[in-house]
Structure 1
Amino acid sequence: MLNVTITESAQKYLAGLLEKQNCEGIGIRMFVSDPGTPKAETCIAYSRPGEHNEEDMVVEYDAFSAYFEQRSIAFLDEAKVDFAEDKFGGQLTIRAPNSRLPNVNDDSPIEDRINYLLYNEINPGLASHGGVVSLSEMDEGFAVLEFGGGCQGCSAVSMTLKEGVEKTLMEKIPELKGVRDVTDHTDTSNAYM
């Protein structure tokens, strides 16, 4: 169930922006990138006719349609979009208190489940060495991971990848085929010594 508030002042402001686009039937699309992780960002983008996804939830406002990405709905719970006028014109603010919460279950997309494990189980262990790992992309059932911080340039990273990260992910996400590393470990500029 969608629980997002777009205040009247925000609706008026967004309607004005949409009007300037000179596009019949243009609306907005709201989604969270990297949901359930510390990097989560709540976004509002223009949505021209035909640009939204079929599974998006559509809400009709007085002046426009808003499309909410299905995958983001749980992370948009209690979100509020507001517009406050000031002497410089004003500012649109988006508050989504649940965008970073690890709101993940067995039915969540595989990317969300991998991110949840990386941020909540794997990264706390790597942090002691100043390291961090993140999901770069999914490639034919393989999680392509990117190591950063102290892990970048570290000679033990391939062991960490196979023995630690891959083992943990494969145990908890059985449909995962494996993991790959995209990080270039020849760059030792930030390596932990």
Structure 2
Amino acid sequence: MIKYDNPAEDNDFNCSDYCLSPREFFEKRRTSKRPYVFDLRSSEAHEEENIPGSLSLPIEHFETSIYQMPFAGDILPYGGEDGEVLTAAEILYDNGFDSFNYTDSYEALFSNADATYLTITSDAHKKIDDELQNSDELKAVQIIIEPTSPLKAIYRPELVISAQEGSIKLEVDGVEIFTERKTASYLEGTIIEINDEGHLEVRNPNLSISKLNGSLEEQIQLMLDEQVNPMLASHGGNVMLEGIKDSSAYVRFGGGCQGCSMIDTTVKQGVEVMLKEAIPELVGVYDVTDHSEGESPFFTG
């Protein structure tokens, strides 16, 4: 098994300046305007389980890929148990990157989840206590998280008898909270509160899906901002709304999507499907991009 050098021995590089706790790592990912998360483990490990939206870049290919790293944005690598991330951090530092942070290992991101990931308001805490005490069976709260993109999800609470299989457990102010491990990366920053109807509600600033309202243009723009562009960002791409005509949206792609040979599939099977499912009044989506001018397409024909 490969062991990687510890850059702490480098007099010019202090790894502790860039190391984040698991909670801080997820918080950075949640609040950054441009997070770029890289998985340094093997491609097989990444395929089996990963942080949604992370890009697989095994450590043995990291240094040769450094020229492709984004200078604008926050680079957030994570690795396995063998110190890969320390080597990656030193490579970033030596190549002039300063907007990056890392955490110890992928496993630590989940095994170290604790009460600091969640907040329960006093009203919500009382309601949970009352409902659990008045039930002979219900014992805990399961937070159901349904991801819609790497950085957006739908949250809902459910009082349960026991945890679903594959869940991790947290105890927050005396309340047992469960959530599935596979969606735990959406947990940090979550708030359990009471909504206007008096029911328990779970939301996460920056990650919760906003309710669609307003004009057709406003609804489309919200979908592009919260769901479509975070998805395209993993390929270095983006899409902008150019205008609305006859209840159809006209969009322009940029970055890795401009000139991409898969753009027709992206539009018809990706963007259009997502928008029309969320906004029934939308008739169609049309691409007005000049793809002949694309300089760095993600896929080339």
TM-score (norm 1): 0.46
- Greater per-residue strand proportion: 1
* Higher RCO by CA contacts (8 Å cutoff, separation 6 or greater): 1
Computing the radius of gyration from Cα coordinates, the structure with the larger value is: 2
- Greater per-residue helix proportion: 2
